[in-house]
Amino acid sequence: MNDIRRTIWWVIFGFSMVLLWDQWQVLNGHKSLFPSSSQVAKAPAGAASTVPSVVAGNSAAVPSSMTPGLPATPGAVPTGAPSTAPAARKERVIVSTDVLTLSFDSEGGTLVRSVFNKYKDLTDKDAGFVLLDDGADRVYVAQTGLIARGAGGVLPTHKTLMTVLPGERALKDGENELQVKFESADVGGVKLVKTYTLKRGSYDIAVRHDIINTGTAAVTAQLYMQLVRDGNDPVNKIPAPKLLHYFGVQNMPSFYSTFTGPAVYTEAKKYQKVEFKTIEGNKVDVEKEASNGYVAMVQHYFASAWILPDGLKRDLFLRKVDTNLYAVGMITPLDSIAPGASKFIESRLFVGPQEEKTLEAITPGLELVKDYGWLTILAKPLYWLLDKLHGFIQNWGWSIVALVLLLKIAFYWLNAKAYSSMAKMKAINPKITEMRARLKDKPQEMQQAMMKIYREEKVNPVGGCFPIMIQIPVFIALYWVLLSSVEMRNAPWVLWIHDLSAPDPYFILPIVMTLTTLLQTALNPAPPDPMQAKLMWFMPLIFSVMFFFFPAGLVLYWITNNILSITQQWVINTRMGVPPQFNLPKFR
């Protein structure tokens, strides 16, 4: 039985080492050993860097994006801008609401920059967080345009120069919405008008496309909507703890990895994430046709998504459009438009933080961009409970403490069983130690004598492990809830903790966590095997090093769990007549 217990501990230790190695690999830019279950297959290393055509089954492709010199795919609209009205000129339009500041380019009426007024940049507290951008170092934009069906000609695209119509540029007090309109010239007998409607307090933008046939023949066209982004990881540097400033370290990368890339959602296949490398290797395997759902670009805390009304047919595509530039989008066909007639399509563009309740209200399945992975079934109710606690407490730090307390109460009897088993093991430890010393040269007799002691004392050597292992998925799910929740960003707790999503600036919480972990280890019965006993001390030290650079909210949750566990273990040991004692390591 002791061999079984030793094997269990070795398995736990080995798996922990694998996880540590995996995170180190991710930190250094290598692929994770554990892709999410919802993620489609990755492309093999060295996949060909081709420009795949649209995955849509249409005779026309979406026009090549961003780079004027990029060769167009067969049937694509040329990358150069079609002819426009003489009065049209290229300009930037900046509009703002209480939560958003957006920049539009009159070339195509494209949204090229978004700033969140309520979510600040981690390295510049005076600046709002920038998601969409078309700067020199990064590209992330939302584009739309028209494609002619069949053997049709050139129509207005995201490369067409458009006229900005007059209107308000800032949401005034007492007003709930504002609009910005772009109108193209006659291109191929078609005029396109784009209307963006922004509402107070909303990251959900209504986008209306009016297609007007100004020619003498009927027109059949398709509307495409796409999100184009470079394949770089988001700038995820966080301010270094203040103690590191003395060594010249101002910023540092995060020590955890989250998914960045496109995603597709349909009722049939649900939520599917796609790696950029998968697109580059032309290995995409998602649903190509649907009448519901959305396409999105996802990164830690934030997302963007194009959403069409349910029931409207659309073809879905993911493709590489240039070196390190990728697109995800939808193409929806329009009925034939007679000369002098017009049609319109209503859509929505979400650009904002992954606030779960907000996402749920916009469209079914959009909340899945906040990805909990394979533990979603546990994580969602945990977030719901955390959110309810915050509604009462009004402080995310204390809400974390309250949630862990409720979980410890829920698992009280399981923990009691585990600690009772540990207390019994501690009580018989002197007998086992004496027996091992006496029979150290007779391993077979030692095993028989050990089993006899366990039977006589009615002790199960693995009884303390099983109840704790049952709870592990719950606390891993809580870890992902805290890591994924944008509400932790810039959220203060107490005193020196001003941001639960950033590391403790003075390392106080990680030091407390290390001490509580070592105290908990000292209270556990020392394994009879000296090597195993040493490993039991090394493991918490190794994990503690990682937590020195983890967000304060995660460390707070771990500290709370440790303190409550120590308290319960202390009480149970005392009740069973086994006075708490510290089993300090012997490393000689």
Secondary structure (H, E, C), 406-458: HHHHHCHHHHHHHHHHHHHHHHHHHHHHHHHHHCCCCHHHHHHHHHHHHHHHC
How many other C-beta atoms are found inside a 10 Å radius of the C-beta of residue 139? 22
Tokens of 452: 């006899």
Whether pTM exceeds 0.95: no
Task: Tell me the Ramachandran region of residue 231: left when phi exceeds 0, alpha when psi lies from -120 to 50, beta otherwise.
Answer: alpha
pLDDT by residue (tens digit) across 86-127? Answer: 446 789 999 999 999 999 999 999 999 999 998 888 777 778
Kindly tell me the burial class for residue 569, based on how many C-beta atoms sit within 10 Å of its own C-beta (0-12, 13-18, 19 or more).
buried
List the chain domain ranges.
53-370, 385-423+463-575
pLDDT of residue 247: 54
Tokens of 515: 């001490």
pLDDT of residue 544: 73
CA 165 to CA 180: how far, in whole Å? 7
SS3 of residue 512 by DSSP:
helix
pLDDT, tens digit only, all 588 positions of the chain: 444 444 444 444 444 554 554 554 444 444 444 444 333 333 333 333 332 333 333 334 455 544 333 333 333 433 343 444 444 678 999 999 999 999 999 999 999 999 999 888 877 777 889 999 998 888 999 999 999 876 567 899 999 999 999 988 999 888 899 999 999 999 988 999 999 999 999 999 999 999 999 988 888 899 999 999 998 887 655 555 555 555 555 555 555 667 899 999 998 888 999 989 888 888 888 888 899 999 999 998 999 999 999 999 999 999 998 888 999 999 999 989 999 999 999 999 999 999 998 999 999 899 999 988 778 888 889 999 999 999 999 999 999 999 989 988 887 776 666 666 666 666 666 677 777 777 767 677 777 777 776 666 666 655 555 556 666 788 788 888 888 889 888 889 988 888 888 888 888 888 888 888 888 777 765 555 566 666 666 677 777 777 777 888 888 988 898 888 888 777 776 776 666 565 655 545
CA 16 to CA 11: how far, in whole Å? 8
349 membership: H or E segment, kind and range: strand 342-353
How many other C-beta atoms are found inside a 10 Å radius of the C-beta of residue 414? 14
Tokens of 390: 């915050």
CATH of domain 53-370: 2.70.98.90
